[in-house]
Structure 1
Amino acid sequence: MKIWRWIASIALSITIGFFIVAAFVYSPEEATVQPPTETEEETQETEEQEILKEPIEEEPPDEELEDPAETEEPTFREGIRDVFTSVIESAKDLFIREDLHITALGDSLTQGVGDATDKGGYVGILDQTFDSNPNAGDVEIDNFGKRGNRTDQLLKRLNNEEEITNSIEQSDIAIITIGANDVMEVVQDNFTNLNYQAFVEAQEGYEERLGEILRTVNETNPDASIYLVGLYNPFNAYFNNIPELGQIMNDWNDISRQVVEESNRTTFIPIKDLFENSSENLLWEEDYFHPNERGYKRIAERVLEYIKEDIER
């Protein structure tokens, strides 16, 4: 089955959703409000006068109103708390070394697009976790995530933006998210005739550019540990009947692993399983492509798990 079918399904769903929302939001019959007639006004005044004459019943003084929070389901309260509590509880006992410097590079996942709390996605969660840890030293995180960045664009930024170079030179750790927009570029360039082979042909260029990115970071700071965050399949929960989607993401992750193995001081961090095996929605409802707050917290926990040895005293 060709992949253009699921793209058409997405477009159709969005179109149908638009008209459904429009039908509920605006109705010509409801939009027209007729002014009350004189008879209606007189009736309304009479009713108001009658209401004013009625005695007001006071509530018994010994009756206490229930606290809404006490009547809520525990799972609901826990869910709300999980969304708005960005700190990773399992990290509160970590002894984080002094003067830790982290440089975060990449695309919208590094920028934090989809995080409705506006805390900066997984990078912001890590930052807040370190700030709340009484055993942490002075931790500095520079976030250079930029929505839409592909490997060629990130490579250009590494070679031309002095601020990024300076940050990497001072860093102990560099964390990178990149590759999803390379996949989407193949979709855009082959929209009318999308097929699996188009993605295979694009893999060689992706591999070369990713290798150059890792070499550039390593050459800028040979002592820094580099972590490359893998890709997840945002369409798996909705189009699991199209196996090519999962295969494409597997191919890209396999290439990333191979490039990482050939690079110095570099580690691959898988996150694909976090989204595949989840019983709750981890995607942003605006586009069902980027993670939401819960999704970013899962990513932050996984990243912390991998960089733990590098950040501890």
Structure 2
Amino acid sequence: MKIGLSISLLSFAIFSPSAKADITTPQVYVALGDSVAAGATPYESLDAGYADIIADTLSKNGLLAAFSKDFAVPGFAVNNIHDLLDEEEVRQSVSQATLITLSAGANNILGLVRQDAAGRTVMFDQLIANYTLNQMRIQYGELLDEILQINPDASIYAVGYYFPYPHVLSTQQQGVLKMLELVNDIIENEASKRDIAFIDAGADFDPDGLNYLPNPVDVHPNQQGYLSIANSFFDKAEPSLESTDNNIPPNPGMSPFLESLMPPSQSEDVTSPDQSGEMDPNLTDEGQGETQNEEPESNTEDAEEDSSLINESAARINYLYEPLFSNTLQHFLALKS
């Protein structure tokens, strides 16, 4: 449901301070964040995630007025989610929410980690990690401040992260485990400074992480893992509620807003690339296998600009979900420019 469709039907009573305590009235729920908030699967797709499960549980208990995870964007780091709040559609929805969950921070860090092809070893540069963690701390606080500025009355929940590398050899885990613990410490500390609740997503998730993260080289959980995160939310927000397998809804698909951020697909009349992704230089305009002696006409300057944009965008974000969404950020930046 689009957030704006039902907002006018709600009573302003739900904006009272009591909404920050128990969930006793129908909520306007907006999920912000990255691929974990969006419901990315271990196998390069999107499905129902923890936000969908929370929404379904609320709905079946008569506690949901509207729900949107349109603004949970795979690949986004903290500063990108902050930039997203400049969009009028996003600001309006956040301003109308009574319940907000935020998953942000992992993309700032996990891109520093390098795994081997089997997912058994990891490595990262500690000095770079220390600098990145400090930047993430500053940016996360600024993001929370912006959300509070837009909507000081909503119940906001800062969602932490689980340990995403349970398949890594135990001798390899300690360094990256400490780094992820620092990410959660930052989220919890910055949230606490602003009287925002922290959701310890890893508390119940990590003991069963091998089952919740079936793909050793992908950091996204299966739906049982998302179910665990949803119940960690209810443990904090409304202990009388619990999500079960019956609260895992059908795949909601990609939202129109998220689709608008994805790079447009190439039209069918453009010559298809070969398996390597490169155009065959021996094809003429008629598609015949003749070698061309002269360089075909092309806009070289545009190509160089596009390449520059890709490189600059890639440098600004470490993608948590690169296989499917590696171009999302650069397209978002292009739309804003």
TM over 0.5: yes
Which residue of the other structure, out of 179, 182, 201, is the alignment partner of 2:131? 201
Aligned-partner SS, 2:177: helix
Which residue of the other structure, out of 91, 94, 105, is the alignment partner of 1:165? 91
Contact 2:41/2:47 (<8 A) preserved: no
Greater fraction helix: 1
Q: Are positions 1:303 and 2:217 aligned together?
A: no
CA–CA distance in structure 2, aligned partners of residues 139 and 98 of structure 1: 9
1:10-21 alignment, distance < 5 Å: none
Report what 1:214 is aligned to.
144
Contact 1:150/1:182 (<8 A) preserved: yes
Report what 1:257 is aligned to.
188
Q: Are positions 1:140 and 2:66 aligned together?
A: yes
In the TM superposition, what is the alpha-carbon distance from 1:154 to its structure 2 partner?
Answer: 0.5
1:10-68 Cα offsets, whole Å, 9 max, x none, are xxxxxxxxxxxxxxxxxxxxxxxxxxxxxxxxxxxxxxxxxxxxxxxxxxxxxxxxxxx
Between structure 1 and structure 2, the one with the greater Rg is 1
In the TM superposition, what is the alpha-carbon distance from 1:199 to its structure 2 partner?
Answer: 0.7
Any unmatched runs of 5+ in structure 2?
1-21, 115-122, 242-337
Contact 2:33/2:102 (<8 A) preserved: yes
Which residue of the other structure, out of 139, 150, 154, is the alignment partner of 2:81? 154
Structure with more relative contact order (C-alpha pairs < 8 Å, separation 6 or more): 2
1:121-157 Cα offsets, whole Å, 9 max, x none, are 0111112222333xx1442111121101101111100
Cα gap change, 1:273/1:114 in structure 2, threshold over 3 Å: closer, same or farther?
A: same
Contact 2:31/2:101 (<8 A) preserved: yes
CA–CA distance in structure 1, aligned partners of residues 175 and 101 of structure 2: 28
Opposite residue 53 of structure 2, the aligned amino acid is I
Aligned-partner SS, 2:221: coil
Contact 2:42/2:215 (<8 A) preserved: no
Opposite residue 122 of structure 1, the aligned amino acid is Y
Contact 1:271/1:302 (<8 A) preserved: yes
Q: Are positions 1:180 and 2:110 aligned together?
A: no
Report the TM-score, using the length of structure 1 for normalisation. Answer: 0.61
Report the TM-score, using the length of structure 2 for normalisation. Answer: 0.57
Cα gap change, 1:125/1:175 in structure 2, threshold over 3 Å: closer, same or farther?
A: same
CA–CA distance in structure 2, aligned partners of residues 141 and 240 of structure 1: 40
Cα gap change, 1:194/1:253 in structure 2, threshold over 3 Å: closer, same or farther?
A: same
Opposite residue 306 of structure 1, the aligned amino acid is K
Report what 1:120 is aligned to.
48
CA–CA distance in structure 2, aligned partners of residues 272 and 301 of structure 1: 11
1:39-54 alignment, distance < 5 Å: none
Contact 1:236/1:245 (<8 A) preserved: no
1:214-261 Cα offsets, whole Å, 9 max, x none, are 000101111112111112221134332121011111111112222112
CA–CA distance in structure 2, aligned partners of residues 225 and 309 of structure 1: 15
Cα gap change, 1:256/1:310 in structure 2, threshold over 3 Å: closer, same or farther?
A: farther
CA–CA distance in structure 2, aligned partners of residues 142 and 279 of structure 1: 27
